[in-house]
Amino acid sequence: MAEVNIKIEGMSCEHCVIAVRKALSGLPAVMESNVKIGSALVKYDEATGGVEDIKKAIEKAEYKVTE
C-alpha cells in the first residue's frame, strides 16, 4: 500500500470535504482517505490504481490539485 498527500484548491467548507471524500471512495485503489479543507491524505493500492487516478477524481469533483 502506498500513501500520498495531495494539496487541493477550491475547498472552503465541509460540503467540499464530503465531495472530495465521495470522489475518492469511488476509486477501487483507494483504501483510506483523510480529507480536510485544502488537502487529502490517501492510502491506495498501487496494483489497482495510482496517483494520477486520484488526481483525476478530485478534478472531476471540480477542485484543483496543486500538489
Q: Name the stretches of the chain with pLDDT < 50.
A: none
Cell numbers describing residue 15: 460540503
pLDDT in tens, 21-31: 999 999 999 99
* Spatial CB neighbours of 61, under 8 Å, sequence gap ≥ 6: 19, 20, 22, 23
pLDDT value of position 67: 67
Q: Which residues pair with 6 in a beta bridge?
A: 40
pLDDT at residue 47, as a whole number: 96
This prediction has a pTM of 0.92
Residue 45: its pLDDT value, please? 97
Neighbours of 8 (CB within 10 A): 23
Question: What is the set of domains in the chain, with CATH numbers?
Answer: 2-65 (3.30.70.100)
